Chains A and B, each alone.
Chain A
Amino acid sequence: MSQPTTLFHKLWQAHVVRSLGEDLDLLHVDRHLIHDLSGARALTDLQERGLAVRNPELCIATPDHSISSQPGRTLASSPFGERLGGGLRKMAEAAGIPFFGLDHPNQGIVHVVGPETGFTLPGSLLVCGDSHTSTHGALGALAWGIGSSEVVHVLATQTVRQRRPQTMRITVDGELGQGVEAKDVILHIIGALGVAAGTGHAVEYAGTTIAALDLEGRMTICNLSIEFGARMGMIAPDETTFAYLKDRPLAPKGGAWDQALAQWRGLRSDEGAVFDREVRIDAADIAPQITWGTSPGQTLAITGTIPAPDSFVEAEQRNNTELALEYMGLSGGQPIAGTKVDRVFIGSCTNGRLPDLRRAAAVAQGRTVASHVTAWIVPGSAQVKVAAEAEGLDKIFLDAGFEWREPGCAQCVATNGETVAPGERCVSTSNRNFVGRQGPKARTHLAGPAMAAAAAIAGEITDVRNLTAVAEDK
């Protein structure tokens, strides 16, 4: 009998074009996503070198980072929209790469568009010049973010040179508590393991908790893999995955679907497969999370207390805590709940999908955003927006005093000019609370959509479970 193999090794092995040395392989790229921040530039580089795009039909391009999320927007509504979004259109069309522009029903954040169109498939190898490409691993794809030189390499050769990483399996078992969602699971994992624990590893998430999540929740988990250093996160495809993909426009149809399905069913780690590192997490230990610092690992249960620098033994950690608290304008030893907020941002490739918006709407329904808070809902894609409007979610949000905006990255990275002002505090459903991420001196607290909606209503960081309890009393 053959050696039991991990899902990761099966995916890797299926894409080796040629071995280039010990642990270094040339791998075939099945799917390549291109966005406005680096796309036009990479295509121009290629052109200047006199090279053509080898397989334009295996790419898709859409603007997301630089464009405005303002209702009624055009490319001209953001400072660099025309140059970057318009540049991408020109270069992509010239190269024959399918392009989803602002007026296209499939425009959106690359990591939302890939799965929802069926471009991302189980067993495919997908890359994109963006570190959150790990998101696509939720469908059983081998997916990771690459740098801009590598983007040019993929365009020219349809391959990527990659060193084989170590493997890690994170098994989460048990039922999630009331008010606890996928975002809390992954923030809890990062908090427990530290922000560099996954470096050099491809991570597979497994266990009953993961299996019970919908595809969108699994994407949230895989999305944040890079926040503890892992370039690749993945989940074995199962019936939930297949049901999600069936009839998506770019997914296989008819006989090809049946043939694909037969292959996809084998995409899981064999019984007895050995990982370089195994971690086990008990779902019962996970509470709704909120970050307090400037790294996603600086996270707390909502009922927790902000750590004081002197609570750490290690000088480096003391120092990091002090720097983070100073930047965030917080004092150690205080409960995190009750911290006043100025802004709430619900969206991004982490939490900008339909079930995310549904959870936020369930909290917002019949309530009002606190008068001092500006709260935005930015759907992850045009498809998400249309689907949410069909359910009336836009109306719930607008009635509660949220802004209902156009799809894109928006305030996750604020490269479109939609910054959080210096010193302002924002609860955000995105994935990075880094110094200056949402704008110079902006203070970001990461949380899931339900917690973020609760903060908008309360005007302060608050335990969403209290709000839900009030609703159930009524």
Chain B
Amino acid sequence: MEKLQLLQGVAAPLPRANIDTDIITPAKRLLDANRETMHQHTFEPLRFLADGDENPDFILNKPGYRDAVILITGRNFGCGSSRETAVWGLRGLGIRCVIAESFGDIFFNNCFQNSLLPIRLPGETIAELLAEAGNDQGNMQFQVDVANCTLTTPSGRTITFDLTPDRQTALLEGLDEVGQTLQEDAATAAFQARDRKARPWIYDLGTVD
């Protein structure tokens, strides 16, 4: 996984609640699931008009916000389907951090598998951040410091956010979970040996044929 230590850039305000992963990645785009090209369809229903042209009112299409690296949005962001393509698409658009009052649980977890940092902050703070990000056509720089768990706004305000130590380490060092867990395989083998005696039916399945 790619490392994420210090992030600096524009934050795009998207003040809308309950943006589900079907909006972030429409279902028909899942069929061709490709990490590299998924961003072409990200936010499709919001980002493009019916004729396929860009919707000039959508924040990431506006001058100044096209290169945003942070997204500030409404509560329950990423609810719905488990599709990790939603995270791939955001990454493909250049977003490395999403700030919201709350997130869908599966999306929140998927972010950490892809070096994208989701930050939960109280509703009032979000409202203030949205306002600040909306000022000055997006020419203002926000900064996220993963090592110190701080977000610094263009006005110089510093806000701390929560991040569990394991996730912080994984982001800072770019650690991969599969690699880490494979080193625990002896513990898994021991668990299965014990468990097989207690619950043999879990391991000895019948057959359907």
Q: How large is the interface on A (under 10, 10 to 19, 20 to 34, 35 or more residues)?
A: 35 or more
Q: Report how far A306 CA is from B75 CA in the complex, Å.
A: 24
Measured between beta carbons, the chain B residues less than 8 angstroms from A54 are 188
Give the residues from 44 to 78 in chain B that come closer than 8 angstroms, CB to CB, to chain A: 45, 74-76
Q: Given contacts A196-B76, A199-B105, A435-B45, is CB(A121)–CB(B202) below 8 Å?
A: yes
Q: Is A57 an interface residue (CB 8 A)?
A: yes
Q: How far is the CA of A251 from the CA of B192 in the complex (A)?
A: 19
Instruction: Determine the chain B residues whose CB is within 8 A of the CB of A367 once the complex forms.
Output: none
Whether A28 pairs with B191 at a CB distance below 8 angstroms is yes
Name which of B6-14, B26-34, B90-98, B135-143 contacts chain A. Answer: B26-34
Contacts of B104 in A (CB 8 A): 199, 229
Q: Are A437 and B208 in contact (CB under 8 A)?
A: no
Q: A124–B106 contact, CB under 8 A?
A: no
Is A235 among interface residues, defined by CB-CB distance under 8 A? no
Could you say which residues of chain A place their CB within 8 Å of the CB of B207? 249-250
Question: Shortest Cβ distance from A171 into chain B, in angstroms?
Answer: 23
Set of chain B residues within 8 Å of A22, measured between Cβ atoms: 164
Fill in one digit per residue for A144-167: 1 if any B CB lies within 8 Å of its CB, else 0: 011111101100111101010100
- Known contacts: A121-B202, A250-B205. The answer to whether A153 contacts B181 by CB under 8 A is yes
Nearest opposing residue in chain B for A437, CB measure: B22
* Chain A residues whose C-beta falls within 8 Å of the C-beta of B82 in the assembled complex: 129-131, 145-148
Are A153 and B184 in contact, with the CB atoms below 8 A? Answer: no
Chain B residues near A24 (CB, 8 Å)? 164, 166
Count of chain B residues near A, Cβ 8 A: 58
- Is A38's beta carbon under 8 Å from chain B? yes
Given contacts A17-B184, A147-B113, A250-B206, contact A229 B177 (CB under 8 A): no
Q: Which residue of A lies closest to B88 (CB)?
A: A148
CA distance A150 to B87 in the complex (A): 13
CB–CB A316/B74 < 8 A: yes
Which chain B positions have C-beta within 8 A of A83?
A: 31
Are A231 and B166 closer than 8 Å at their CB atoms? no
List A contacts of B185 (CB < 8 A): 157
**Which B residues are in CB contact (< 8 Å) with A229?**
76, 79, 104-105
For A291, the chain B residues whose CB sits under 8 A away are none
Nearest residue (CB) in A for B87 is A147
Q: How far is the CA of A146 from the CA of B201 in the complex (A)?
A: 24
Within the complex, the shortest CB–CB distance from A333 to chain B, in Å, comes to: 23
Picked from B18, B81, B192, B201, the residue with its CB within 8 Å of the CB of A195 is B18
Across-interface contacts of A320 in B (CB, < 8 A) = 17-18
Are B182 and A157 within 8 A (Cβ)? yes
- Asked if residues B181 and A37 are in contact (CB atoms below 8 Å), the reply is no
The verdict on B157 contacting chain A, using a C-beta distance below 8 Å, is: no
Interface status of A440 (Cβ within 8 A of chain B): yes
B174 to A: closest C-beta gap in Å: 14
In the bound complex, do residue B106 and residue A156 qualify as a contact, i.e. CB atoms below 8 Å apart? no
* Residue in chain A with minimal CB distance to B204: A256
Residues of B within 8 A of A251 (CB): 201, 206
A-B residue pairs in contact (CB < 8 Å), sample of 19:
A24-B166, A37-B30, A37-B31, A38-B33, A41-B33, A57-B205, A58-B205, A80-B32, A147-B110, A148-B82, A148-B85, A149-B84, A157-B178, A158-B188, A159-B188, A196-B79, A259-B201, A260-B199, A415-B27
Top 10 closest pairs, chain A to chain B, by CB: A252-B201, A149-B113, A147-B110, A147-B84, A196-B76, A131-B82, A148-B84, A434-B22, A80-B31, A145-B82
- Known pairs A28-B191, A58-B203 / 19 extra A-B pairs, C-beta < 8 Å: A26-B187, A51-B182, A84-B31, A145-B82, A147-B87, A149-B113, A157-B182, A161-B177, A161-B181, A163-B164, A226-B80, A250-B208, A256-B200, A256-B201, A414-B27, A434-B20, A436-B23, A436-B26, A437-B27
